A and B are shown apart, each in its own frame.
Chain A
Amino acid sequence: MEGNITLIGYGLSTIGPAIAVGLIFAAYINGVARQPEAGNLLRPIAILGFALAEALAIFGLVLFFL
C-alpha cells in the first residue's frame, strides 16, 4: 500500500473538532429553541466557540504539509 501516514493523522485530528463544533451548535439551537429572543445574543458566542474549536482541525491541515 502506498501513501502517507500524515493523511491518517489529519483525518484523526478532525474528529475532535467535528464533535466539538456539533456540540456547540447543538447548544446554540437548544438555547434559541428555549428562548428565541436570545438568538442575536447567542450567535456571536456560538460562532466564536466554533472558530476556536475549529483551530485544531486547521493545525492538522497545516501539520499535514510539514
Chain B
Amino acid sequence: MNVTSVLLPLAEEEHFPPEPSLFWQPLVKFGTVDFFGMETTLAITRPMVVMAITVGLLAWWLLATTSKAAVVPSKGQYYTEQVYDFVRNGVARDMIGSKEFMRFVPLLFSLFILILLNNWMGIIPPVQMPTMARVGFPIALTLIVYVVYHWVGIQKHGLGGYFAFMVPSGLPKAMIPAIFVLELMTFFITRPLTLALRLFGNMFAGHMLLVVFIVGGYELLMQGGLLSIVALPTWILAFLMTIFEALVQFLQAYVFVLLAASYIGGALVDEH
C-alpha cells in the first residue's frame, strides 16, 4: 500500500483546510439509497469495523471476568471491579448523589468502557484508528445521554416543572426571561454540542498530531542526506506524543462520563 497516498491526500489536492470528504474512505461500498431526499452511500468504513471489534472484545472480557464471579476475585475480575468501582463511586455517586445514582451506573459504566477502549484503539499499533475521530460516533453517544437526562428531568419535575426548574429561584422578576432563554440554550444546545464536539475534537486533533509527526518523519527520511537524520528525533517525539495521547484519551473518556453524570445529576436536583 502506498503510504503517502493514503495518509497524505493533501499532497495531491490544493485546497486547505481539508474537507470532510477527504476523511471518508470506506472499505466496502454497497451503492446508494435515497434517505429523506438525500443521496446516501451505504458502506462499511474503518471506524465501523473498529467499533464492532471493540464491542466484541468488551462483551467477551466482561462475560469472561464476571460470569464466574467469586468473593475472592480472580485477576480479571479484580481489574473489572476496579474500573466499575471507579465509575460507580468516583463518577456516578459523586455527581448524581447517593440516593438515585444506582440506576444510572450501567449506562455510565458502558459509556466509559466503550469510549475508553475506542479511544485507546487510536494508539494501539495494529489498529491506530480512533473511532471517535469521526463525528457521527460521539453524536450517537451524546444523543443517548441527551435523551436520558431530559427524560429523567421531565419524569421527576413534570413537563412544565422541568422548564420552571431551569430558572434558579430567588432572581429578580425582570431577570427571569433573560435567564430562562440562556438556560434553555444551555440545556438544549450548548450541553449536547460541547459534549459531542469535545470528544470528537480531542480525538481528531490527537490523531492528526500523530499523523503529522509520523508521516513527517517518513517524508524527512525519504529526502536523503541531512534531513534523513532529523527523522529520528521526529519519531522519538511521535513516540512521546503517543504516550501523551494515551493520557488524553483516558481523560476524555473520563470527562465524557463525568459530564454525562453531572447533567443527569443536574436534572435530578430537588431545588435550586
Interface residues of A (CB under 8 A from B): 3-4, 6-7, 44, 47-48, 50-52, 54-55, 57-59, 61-62, 64-65
The one of B16, B20, B91, B258 in contact with A51, judged by C-beta atoms closer than 8 angstroms, is B258
B16 touches A65 (CB 8 A): no
Contact check, B17 vs A44: say whether CB atoms are below 8 A apart: no
For A50, A51, A52, A64, the residue with the greatest tally of chain B CB atoms inside 10 Å of its CB is A51
| Residue pair B259, A61 in contact (C-beta under 8 Å) | no
Closest 4 A/B residue pairs (Cβ): A58-B201, A51-B255, A55-B194, A61-B201
A47 and B254 CA atoms in complex are apart in Å by 9
Min distance, Cβ A12 to any Cβ of chain B, angstroms: 16
Extra contacts besides A48-B262, A61-B201 (18): CB < 8 Å: A3-B16, A4-B17, A44-B90, A47-B254, A47-B258, A48-B259, A50-B255, A52-B194, A54-B198, A55-B194, A55-B197, A55-B198, A58-B194, A58-B201, A59-B197, A61-B205, A64-B17, A65-B17
Residues of B within 8 A of A4 (CB): 16-17
B28 to chain A, nearest CB (A): 26
Q: Could you write out 28 A-B pairs with CB less than 8 Å apart? A: A3-B16, A4-B17, A44-B91, A44-B95, A44-B258, A47-B251, A47-B254, A48-B258, A48-B262, A51-B198, A51-B259, A52-B194, A54-B198, A55-B197, A57-B201, A58-B194, A58-B197, A58-B201, A58-B202, A61-B201, A62-B197, A62-B200, A62-B201, A64-B17, A65-B17, A65-B18, A65-B19, A65-B20
User: In the complex, what distance in Å separates the CA atom of A57 from the CA atom of B204?
Assistant: 13
Complex Cα distance, B17 from A4, in Å, reads 8
Task: From A44, A47, A58, A64, give the contact of B198 (CB < 8 A).
Answer: A58
